[in-house]
Amino acid sequence: MRCMTGAGRAKLHGMSESTEAPQSTRPEDQGAEPRRPRGVHDLFSHGRLTAIPRKAARREQLLAHLSETLFVPGRAYTEPEVNDALRTVHEDCSALRRYLITSGHLTRARDGSSYRRSTTTR
């Protein structure tokens, strides 16, 4: 068996012996728009949340979006009002409510009687 030189390998694979860097085939390198960071709108279909993200950073994006769009700062909400607001986007309102509270987007009164949108998050 014979060992091939760089030129022999290049010819075997249909490449030239050129020392130029190979041309990229990625769309962002071909003049197409570069990839944008994924927005929360990618998580929705027909106005409904398709799934609650498992990755913490992605879930945090979603929670910030939900708190900003569903809840008014300074207003107190009852638990049924919070659940109804969350049900407009996803059936598992209790999971979303828990995530909103643990992430600091919503605060709950000690007695559980009311919820408020936070002005700061944890």
Q: Sketch the domain layout of the chain as residue ranges.
A: 51-117
**Model pLDDT, residue 40:** 86
Q: Which residues pair with 107 in a beta bridge?
A: 116
pLDDT band at residue 15 using 50, 70 and 90 as cut-offs: very low
CB 58 within 8 A of CB 74: no
Length of the chain: 122
Any residues with CB less than 8 A from the CB of 12 and at least 6 apart, and which? Answer: 4
Q: What is the mean pLDDT of the chain?
A: 81
Q: Alpha helices of the chain — where are they, by DSSP H? A: 6-12, 56-70, 79-87, 93-102
Q: The tokens 């009164």 sit on which residue? A: 109
Mean pLDDT for 97-121 is 93
Whether residue 18 has pLDDT greater than 70: no
**Model pLDDT, residue 121:** 64
Distance CA 101, CA 118 (A): 9
* In the chain, % of residues over pLDDT 70: 67
Mean pLDDT for 73-90 is 97
**Model pLDDT, residue 36:** 45
Q: Which residues pair with 77 in a beta bridge?
A: 115
Distance CA 97, CA 103 (A): 10
The fold for domain 51-117 equals Arc Repressor Mutant, subunit A (1.10.10)
pLDDT band at residue 12 using 50, 70 and 90 as cut-offs: very low
- For the question of whether the overall pTM of this predicted structure is more than 0.75, the answer is no
